[in-house]
Structure 1
Amino acid sequence: MDGTFDWTRASKASICAFLLAFAPLTGALAQTSDDASDDGYVAPAAPASDTSSDAAAPAAAAPAAAAPAAAAAPAAAAASASAASAPTTNLNNVAVTGTAIARPDAATALPVTVYSAKELRQQGITSTPQLLQQIAGNDTSSGPGLNTGSQITGGASFADLRGLGANKTLILLNGRRLATNSLEGNGAATDLNTIPFAAIDHVEVLRDGASALYGTDAIGGVINFITKKNLNGGNVDLQYTMPTRSGGGNSSTLSATFGKGDFDKDGWNVMGTISYQRSGEINTNSRDFITPLNPNIQAVSSNTFSSNYNQGSIFANAQPGCNAKGEIPDSYFGDPTSGACYENYTALGAEVQQKYEEPSFFGQASYKINDKNKVSASYLYSRKTTYSISAPAPTSGSIEVQPGTKYYPGNGITPAPTAVQDPDGSFDPTKPVSLYYRTVPAGPRVNKGVNENHRVVLDFTGRFLNGFHYDTAFSYNQSSSDYDEVRGEINQTEGPNSLQAQINDGNYNPFDTNLSDAERQILLNAQTTGQIEAGKTRAYVWDGKIDHEIGNWFGAGQSALALGAQYRHETLDVHIDPYLAARSPSSGLSGNKISESRDVEGVFGELNVPILDNLELDAQARYDNYSDVGDTINPKVSLRYQPLKQLTLRASYAEGFHAPTLFDLYEPLSNTYSEGGLNDPVLCPGGKVAAGGSQVRDCNTQFQEAEGGNQNLKPEKSKSWSAGFVLQPIKYVTLTADFWAVELSQQIGVPSGAYIFANTPTDSSIYHRNDDGSLDYFVNRNENLGKLETNGEDVQLDAHLPSDYGTFTFSLQGTYTNKYDFQNVKDGPYYNNVGVYSLQSNTVVFRWKQNITLGWHKGPMSLGVVNHYSSGYQDAYQYPGHYKVHDYVTWDTYGSYAFDNGLQLTVGSNNVFDVDPVYSDQTYAGNAGYDARYASGVGRTVYGRLSYSF
């Protein structure tokens, strides 16, 4: 596609909806006398404040600002937006994430938590992915060490509320959706690096299903990033962060923000933010909790240097003793001695933290057309370049040594298999042997991922006809991802420069660890470099809504109605270079191209009715029609009851429908390596070698796994419930608690390799085997896996105590998960994932996660301490002595001083006690020895931040 949207493809319903939406705008421009009003922007509330209570007592203030809650609650949501894909309510009334109705306060029945970006920056947080650590209800994140195998994300990071999947957490910027990532299977979710953190004023997190309002992909919740508004002046920030351990990893952030024009007085405002971040890499060999090899970490490979070779049941190594770097005898793990070796691939090339750089820009201009109407335009740009390092390339049997050639075993240079290696005398010198080799002399594979994002929004907002409020906008979102091979990828079998050809010609000895200069040059000549994959997603969106008070039906206050519509055209284009793919077998890619699109049309309504003075009903419903998977209606209803001034009760019920993404449907098959610790169900059933099998090749190892889309997928459907309260027993204390539950059916995902091997018949066509019976690869497509049932509680306690010695603050946020059970197939057995690393999902759901902040503020000075806690869980493989992953507890501390001349200095330390990540024997994500999704291997960092405001 050329990127130009063909409006001739739009349906008549879409065109009519467009014309109707702009009809009120025409009338609005002519209005000059009714309800004149302005933006009325107010600073946001303290971080992590709940906006759902309108009790008069103040909420807990941030360490740097002890603001009373009566002003804080509505202010926290003043800049947020909510409507079909985004309505932003302006001109006196405010909106809260999760409702489309403009109202004079922020009190709703929804559990919305607000995080102040100013306070997050004081804690050393400089990017949106770091924010995830502050959200207890976020079950996973993309840690800095998540960079190997199928977990390479090209530098992208994703949110995952409730652990339902990143594609079920909707990410908004000023209330409107952002483009999804376009690199391989990550195309279902929004890369958080898209959002320039320097432009953010505050963040609103709705921990409740919102498909009835925003669209069908908001089952898990919504995270709404709100940018600064009506800024007149500016600031410059510089932060430098440094790990206290050796090994590098220093990072720096520079940002500058400037705004001019007072929207209230001048009728216009322009604002722009430019920022630049960069970080150095940290190699795993600088962290002793990963290397040298822990004997209980079985993240090893059968691809070794020097090479293992295979023929029939023989799996042997020509170099006795396995003395090359990273090699380990198979007997090391208690296996029967076969004369073969394992390779500790983590020690040969992996990272605790990746090297990256990211420039970004956000600009916004607002103009008051008249006292009732305004127009605004914004542009966002970000480009993150990440370098990922992984172990030298494996061959996995793709290269063969032919009989009669120079290095064939038993042909003079390479010894024939010994009696231990070939106890049955079955070696046949007339047949080739296949190599399980790792190209260590070529060095680790280095890949470059570039994620670039553009977003343009043109928004019209205003009032007409005595109080009708409208909000309509056009937006364009584009996310592109390029994946380049920089070095270390080896052409194994294609053409005269391939490693296969050089071995056949006798120029390269795969069984010798002492290579000549000529042999090293052969490896360099066989390297493949260049852009192997490029992907792009686009979304052309129009949305609009109208809301208005419709009468005092029950004598308890004005009822209000909002109606809206949305049209969205999505495209997905992915190109894989067939030439490079054929010469890069360890990339797992093949020469495929995707060019797909879909149209989504939606209409929605929301009715808010005060039934009694202290009882309010809110009902929402949305209809969506997908051009490729059908239509759906999603309702939601919520109640808010305030029996006492100090107590608010709330409850909600919602239904959801999550259509399979374009990637879910059309992603071509691509090979990756499965998780480790698998046993071939034919040649090593139950971990015991069978006839024709090999301990090293077929047992306790990784296999090639071909993953891809499935056009027969059905949509996921959900039901969710929540009930809770907000209590302010005394003036300076607020307690919030909410019970939540979600049922998800027909969930879309890829079963784990362990599940496939245990539950798929051995004669199934998903198994693709070599001539000798060994497993070449197995196919594992996206499937509708069955049901998922989860429930738990969110709690939040905020308190602040003003005194002559300053203001002391306390904030606790925690999520307790009672249940997380899922099926891998329809009507199949349920697997528990709470407090257990499930080999069926390759994830863990924490029983309890919390963040606690203690703060003090007086005059220009602020101090704070932050605690992060995740409860322990049952380990993945439970090797002797390591049945449980321990609790993970870290502490941060910071202090700041604001000078009279606009300068502010902040210093602090994250993980101040230099705690190692807790040990885990999982081999699925990141580095062996810990789970990079849930813990960081960076260790203690110290930082300094200098800010200047003018």
Structure 2
Amino acid sequence: MNTYDKVQPRLLLSSITLAVLTLMNSATAQEMQRVEVTGSSIKRLATEAALPVSTIKAEEFAERGMTTLADVMMALPQSASLAPSNAGSGTNINLRGLGVNRTLVLLNGRRLANEAIADGYANLDVIPMSALSRVEILRDGASSIYGSDAIGGVVNFITKRDFEGASATAQYIQPEKSGGGDEQRLTLTVGKGSLAKDGWNVYASVDMHRRSRLAQKDRAELSSTELLTSIGRAPTLGSGGNAMPANFTTATNKTAQNPYFASGCVAPYSIIGGKNTCILNNQEYGTALHENEQLTFYARGTKRFNEDHTLSIDYMRGQEFILAARNPTNAVAVNGVNATLPSTSKWYPGASGGVPAVAGLKGEPLTVTWAVADYGVAVQKDKQVNQRIAVADENRFGEWDVRTGLVIGVSDRENYYDNGFFTGQGLLDGLKSGALNPFGLQDQAGRDYLKSISVDGQKNRDSRSTFTGVDVNASRSLMELAGGSMALALGADIHRDTTRDDKLAVQNSVTYLNSTSSHGEGARNVYAAFAELDVPLTKQLNLNLAVRDDYFSDFGNTINPKASFRYEPSKQIMFRGSANTGFRAPTLFDAYGYRLPGATGKTSAKWDDPLLCPGGKPGVAGTGTALPGFVASEVCNVALPKQVGSNADLRPEKSRGYTLGVVVEPIKSLTLSFDYWNIRMKDMLANLPEQVYFTDPAKYQSLIVRNPDRTINYIKNVTMNLGGQKAGGIDVSASYDFPRSDYGNFKVQLDGTYLTQFDNQLEKDSEFVSNVGRFGLASNGTTSSLPIITYRWKHTLKLGWAKGDWSAQMTQNYNSSYEDQNLVAQQYWRDIESYKVWNLTTSYKGFKNIQITAGITNLFDTNPPVTNHSGYANGYLSSAASPIGRSFNLRGTYNF
């Protein structure tokens, strides 16, 4: 019988023969010791964990000039995270490129409530950075302790255990070039009591961070017409579309025209497009980095009753505002009625409003494609608040060390129309009455009318997700073996997840966004039990096996084992490895989110409708020709309607993974490690990559739904069970401490990942396609529409120096070269250059109670790599590189 079909909860534990010390101990305590003694040869190897864990201490955030956890995640060689400026939901972490839904984020070893809309991952921006002690990254997946859904790995943010005194920090980052992108951070931490002396401690930390908007025009050189033309994406290839001044067609002439084309359109709002039209000037409206504000609060109280018994309670509240600026509101059809300008309007070409006459017009109504430029960019405000209270008790009962915990988490997300949004019907009525001018900026009457139909300030979406869980973990020594004590750990946890997502009725009136009101709601209970056994057979060899049994109230039962070993034949070499299986149920959004019958948005890139704009190169926008009777700007080189949302027919996905590594210390102070990792997935939950609908339209014809007039109603792009994925690579780490000298202490460290395989299968039993170092067909449920970046090699190189009160660190973040998409109108082929950014910081702590750090980010002012990928309208790899350029960083800390 298929275990997923069972309807009664079943918590079955397989027999256990071999296991490690509880993963919670080995992944935390052992790894923490490993980091503290880095560079001490034999002792380090003796305490090396069997599982590959990376640790970043909080002190290193400052040493490397990091201001947010997004900086931390982007620098991880194992991470394929997108730059946060391209993620409207905040910052998420994507280990191994397997998808943000497959990376488990923890705070002090326990889960948070997920981001409220997608409900599949945590937003890192709400985690209190100033309260952190370190970040640990478990690089192999499917943790038996934390959850079998952690297919890509686990990221555990660990706060300070206690804090006494007071500390305040101010930080300022100023780009060298003019424009936005500056950052400010203020933190204050206060605490009282000593766990060691008083047996108790209470502390609290508040952290404020702000980044201003960096407009695309602030870095115009990165997206200039000359640059875009040189890579095959000349802006003038576009024609028609919504612009200011508006383009227009008539009932008898479907070729778009513009009364201002002959005079060069209207700067800076539009530029000359193809075929006698004007097009929107992306340089004027584009955003390189969204404005972002974060405010986090963290408080923790701990009471130590005796040597074995400690109780702690902590509370976190993280709040974030993201102001996402986008192209101006467009006047679009409402209920099938187009935006029409009658001849009675004074703004009709050649009439009293001063709009130039257009030859051939005889007073017939004009269908206009108009962008409302008067308010500039349209801005949406995204507000997120994530709260969590956690109670943890550590005690000893007889021979058992027992840990219990309670977590209650709530994540709220609200979206608002902040600036520049209007009702669609109001725009159409204003054109019809003559109040609105589609060919220029408005007069006072027009501005008053726009104000009357504005929806600015109104909430348009309200979402909430919750997490409530209890857990217990007990461990003890069983017997003495040749290598030490055999230890057993048993545990269980129960948690409930809920989600609710409401698109409010006001969305029906803002037709420009092609979104309508909806409601999605879902919940599940998860019951789990796990066990681990540590068997130190000899002083040199530890073997292990762990097992986890999960029951999902909506998807049934699953049992997933995990095995690992550590073998140290000598003090200079250690071998380690692990193997696991994983199981991930669809997220609550994927299974129960909104479901609407039509389009819910637009494609992220522009495409040619393969039926109505045929004759071009498949997948290359702007190469087809519109069929007679159809407007080229509506069917060629245009963003097309797309349907996303949940799917009731989804199945869970499964995985198998393993690691095999070696750690060596050939000479004193030099440590090297190499860990091979391999992950196989099937029934992968994801959306089809957008480009496949247009590169192979015959194959995906059934997913392109058309209206009676043959225009596209929507492209079905909801979450589906796709085929499989195969990923593998080698993590490399090297650390060397130079001999002490009169010039100070020098250290060099390298952490990198070499990708050996990243193959995707879009349908079951179809061909696997490689995505290593190229824009292939990778699709894995990542929330952003931008593609997954699978570099062949990625590393962080750190050069450190310290002498007395002075220290300095120079860091290089490196991404290897990449094959470009090359779906452009011309016969064109290019590669994306490698990207290497150097950062330099210097610190001084010679003043009493004061530490100062100054640095330069992007020391050599390296521009982001250029790409002709259709998803990057700005022409550079904005999802993986910063457009800010060289910036200066100053940080000061005062300890009271």
| From 883, 891, 895, the counterpart of 2:830 | 883
Secondary structure of the structure 2 residue equivalent to 1:725: strand
Q: 1:409, 1:415 within 8 Å by CA — same for their partners in 2? A: no
Q: Deviations over 1:139-187 (max 9, x none)?
A: 122333x2xxxx533xx1100000000011111111111121013x3x2
| From 230, 240, 256, the counterpart of 1:316 | 256
Distance of 1:812 and 1:323 partners within structure 2: 53
1:95 matched residue in structure 2 = none
Q: Is the aligned partner of 1:855 residue 2:811?
A: no
Q: Is the aligned partner of 1:182 residue 2:116?
A: yes
| From 355, 374, 377, the counterpart of 1:441 | 374
Distance of 1:677 and 1:209 partners within structure 2: 37
Structure 1 residue 688, shift from structure 2 partner? 2.3
Structure 1 residue 777, shift from structure 2 partner? 3.2
1:117 matched residue in structure 2 = 58
Distance of 1:181 and 1:378 partners within structure 2: 20
Distance of 1:281 and 1:354 partners within structure 2: 5
| From 459, 480, 499, the counterpart of 2:392 | 459
- Relative to structure 1, is the Cα distance of residues 806 and 911 closer, same or farther in structure 2, using a 3 angstrom cutoff? same
1:82 matched residue in structure 2 = none
- Relative to structure 1, is the Cα distance of residues 12 and 374 closer, same or farther in structure 2, using a 3 angstrom cutoff? farther
- Relative to structure 1, is the Cα distance of residues 181 and 456 closer, same or farther in structure 2, using a 3 angstrom cutoff? same
| From 308, 319, 322, the counterpart of 1:386 | 322
Q: Is the aligned partner of 1:934 residue 2:880?
A: yes
Structure 1 residue 839, shift from structure 2 partner? 5.9
Q: Is the aligned partner of 1:164 residue 2:110?
A: no
Structure 1 residue 716, shift from structure 2 partner? 1.2
Q: Is the aligned partner of 1:222 residue 2:154?
A: yes
Distance of 1:132 and 1:491 partners within structure 2: 40
Equivalent residues in 2 for 1:695-714, closer than 5 Å: 695-714=632-651
Q: Is the aligned partner of 1:661 residue 2:587?
A: yes
Distance of 1:158 and 1:313 partners within structure 2: 49
Q: 2:347, 2:434 within 8 Å by CA — same for their partners in 1? A: no
Secondary structure of the structure 1 residue equivalent to 2:693: helix
The number of residue pairs the alignment matches comes to 839
Q: Is the aligned partner of 1:945 residue 2:881?
A: no
Structure 1 residue 730, shift from structure 2 partner? 1.3
1:302 matched residue in structure 2 = 241
1:199 matched residue in structure 2 = 131
Q: 1:330, 1:696 within 8 Å by CA — same for their partners in 2? A: no
- Relative to structure 1, is the Cα distance of residues 397 and 818 closer, same or farther in structure 2, using a 3 angstrom cutoff? farther
Q: Deviations over 1:401-452 (max 9, x none)?
A: 5596535999975899878xxxxxxx9998x764332112232101111111
Q: Is the aligned partner of 1:738 residue 2:675?
A: yes
| From 836, 855, 867, the counterpart of 2:812 | 867
Q: Deviations over 1:497-531 (max 9, x none)?
A: x0111222233342x22543322333333321211
Stretch of structure 1 that moved more, 675-684 or 303-312: 303-312
Equivalent residues in 2 for 1:714-753, closer than 5 Å: 714-753=651-690
Equivalent residues in 2 for 1:815-830, closer than 5 Å: 815-830=753-768
2:494 matched residue in structure 1 = 567
Structure 1 residue 704, shift from structure 2 partner? 2.2
Distance of 1:666 and 1:435 partners within structure 2: 39
Q: Deviations over 1:839-897 (max 9, x none)?
A: 66432211111110101001111011111110111112354566211111111001011
Distance of 2:223 and 2:724 partners within structure 1: 40
Distance of 2:423 and 2:687 partners within structure 1: 29
Equivalent residues in 2 for 1:382-781, closer than 5 Å: 382-398=318-334, 400-401=338-339, 406=344, 413=351, 434-466=367-399, 468-493=400-425, 498-510=426-438, 512-513=439-440, 515-529=442-456, 530-553=458-481, 555-578=482-505, 580-668=506-594, 669=596, 671-685=600-614, 686=616, 687-692=623-628, 693-759=630-696, 761=698, 766-769=703-706, 772-781=709-718
Stretch of structure 1 that moved more, 300-309 or 679-688: 300-309
Letter in 2 for 1:910: T
Q: Segments of 4+ in structure 1 off by > 6 A?
A: 10-14, 49-54, 69-73, 408-412, 414-419, 427-430
Structure 1 residue 108, shift from structure 2 partner? 2.4
Equivalent residues in 2 for 1:35-46, closer than 5 Å: none
Structure 1 residue 763, shift from structure 2 partner? 9.8
Letter in 2 for 1:303: N
- Relative to structure 1, is the Cα distance of residues 205 and 401 closer, same or farther in structure 2, using a 3 angstrom cutoff? closer
| From 288, 295, 310, the counterpart of 1:359 | 295
Distance of 2:728 and 2:8 partners within structure 1: 40
Distance of 1:655 and 1:418 partners within structure 2: 70
Q: Is the aligned partner of 1:789 residue 2:726?
A: yes
Secondary structure of the structure 2 residue equivalent to 1:522: helix
Secondary structure of the structure 1 residue equivalent to 2:104: strand
Distance of 1:127 and 1:409 partners within structure 2: 50
1:138 matched residue in structure 2 = 79
Q: Deviations over 1:333-352 (max 9, x none)?
A: xxxx4x344333x2232322
Distance of 1:396 and 1:828 partners within structure 2: 40
Segments of structure 2 that go 5 or more residues without pairing to the other structure are 1-6, 14-24, 617-622, 780-786
Q: Deviations over 1:678-729 (max 9, x none)?
A: 1112112344225334443222221121211111111111111111111111
Distance of 2:321 and 2:656 partners within structure 1: 39
Secondary structure of the structure 2 residue equivalent to 1:906: strand
2:20 matched residue in structure 1 = none
- Relative to structure 1, is the Cα distance of residues 415 and 630 closer, same or farther in structure 2, using a 3 angstrom cutoff? farther
Distance of 1:327 and 1:527 partners within structure 2: 23
- Relative to structure 1, is the Cα distance of residues 642 and 743 closer, same or farther in structure 2, using a 3 angstrom cutoff? same
1:350 matched residue in structure 2 = 286
Letter in 1 for 2:308: K
1:897 matched residue in structure 2 = 844
Letter in 2 for 1:240: Y
Structure 1 residue 595, shift from structure 2 partner? 2.6
Distance of 2:771 and 2:764 partners within structure 1: 17
Secondary structure of the structure 2 residue equivalent to 1:437: strand
- Relative to structure 1, is the Cα distance of residues 170 and 429 closer, same or farther in structure 2, using a 3 angstrom cutoff? same
Letter in 2 for 1:738: D
Q: Deviations over 1:557-611 (max 9, x none)?
A: 2211111111011110112211x10122233432112232111111111112122
Q: Aligned Cα RMSD in Å?
A: 3.0
Distance of 1:292 and 1:752 partners within structure 2: 28
Distance of 1:404 and 1:169 partners within structure 2: 55
Structure 1 residue 71, shift from structure 2 partner? 7.3
Letter in 2 for 1:456: I
1:234 matched residue in structure 2 = 166
Structure 1 residue 329, shift from structure 2 partner? 4.3
Stretch of structure 1 that moved more, 612-621 or 830-839: 830-839
Distance of 2:635 and 2:448 partners within structure 1: 33
1:98 matched residue in structure 2 = none
Q: Deviations over 1:787-825 (max 9, x none)?
A: 111111110101112223221010101111111110222
Distance of 1:921 and 1:121 partners within structure 2: 35
Secondary structure of the structure 2 residue equivalent to 1:519: helix
Q: Deviations over 1:663-691 (max 9, x none)?
A: 11122246222132411121123442253
Q: 2:62, 2:853 within 8 Å by CA — same for their partners in 1? A: no
Q: 2:729, 2:756 within 8 Å by CA — same for their partners in 1? A: yes
Equivalent residues in 2 for 1:88-127, closer than 5 Å: 106-127=47-68
Stretch of structure 1 that moved more, 598-607 or 288-297: 288-297
Letter in 1 for 2:247: N
- Relative to structure 1, is the Cα distance of residues 537 and 874 closer, same or farther in structure 2, using a 3 angstrom cutoff? same
Q: 2:424, 2:512 within 8 Å by CA — same for their partners in 1? A: no
Letter in 1 for 2:92: F
Q: Deviations over 1:612-666 (max 9, x none)?
A: 3211111111111111122211111111111111100011111101110001112
Letter in 1 for 2:662: F
Q: Is the aligned partner of 1:843 residue 2:788?
A: yes
TM-score w.r.t. structure 1 length?
A: 0.83
Secondary structure of the structure 2 residue equivalent to 1:198: helix
Segments of structure 1 that go 5 or more residues without pairing to the other structure are 1-9, 18-40, 61-67, 74-104, 332-336, 420-426
